[in-house]
Chains A and B, each alone.
Chain A
């Protein structure tokens, strides 16, 4: 039994669905940031599968996957900075506290 890009794509879809659940269900901003990290992890899984389960051409998908990992870390870092700012301004760790912020 061989593993092809289809299996990687199914795993990617499953991870993406779990990430969507986390983004919608979590109310703590750190939990939401982690779920967004999962959303970014899903395409990495797919890219690895498309690149390495198929023996064709240069592994250019790895470059894209590496860039996705860096982008995910950057997005989560900026999100964390915003969470810290939210915590200092409102004293609450709740996504709903964003609505209480004034411009």
Chain B
């Protein structure tokens, strides 16, 4: 289904704006919202192009991943990760490279335009080759689905192994926690002693 021109250009402009906000906004929280907007706008683009199933995948899969990230970031130990100091960006390096790459790719694909049409290749192939190629294309979807399931399973395992706290780290955290509690207790006792010394001095005066 060929998308409506007005809808396509409107969504395309919004995608580029949201993508720019996702990489340009100094606040990570705002950048995260902009990244979410990019995902939703991509799903809208797929909807107006007729890729309905893909639009669902586009929202659901990154949504699950983002939900997992949000759950981890809600924990006290990782709050500083998102609210840390804003670091200055290296835009003087990034901007010329991005503009160069963007200019080359945009000009190239704009010049190719109708040359992307792959049907010519398929149609012009000999009759013997064509059914085989169509069969491969037809069965690509189940293979992609099976590989995607394997990739997700491996990612879950690897993510848990990488992100989990080891026994050493847990015992170190406990020791640090006990040390902080001891220091807090000592500080309170010191303050109490100092207050106790000040009171008789006030009574004498």
Contacts and interface: CB of A to CB of B under 8 A. Distances in A.
Contacts, number: 255
A84 B163 contact: yes
B99 to A, nearest CB: 7
Interface residues of A, number: 75
Contact of B101 (A16, A28, A37, A52): A16
Given A54-B119, A57-B119, A88-B169, A28 B87 contact: yes
Nearest to A60: B137
Contacts of A56: 117-119, 122-123
Interface of chain B, helix or strand or loop or mixed?
A: helix
A10 B78 CA distance: 39
Interface of B: 1-5, 8, 12, 15-16, 19-20, 22-24, 28, 31-32, 35, 38-39, 42, 45-46, 49-51, 53-54, 57-58, 61-62, 64-65, 68-69, 72, 77-78, 80-82, 84, 86-91, 93-95, 97-99, 101-102, 105-106, 108-110, 112-114, 116-119, 122-123, 134, 137-138, 140-141, 143-145, 147-148, 151-152, 154-155, 158-160, 162-163, 165, 169
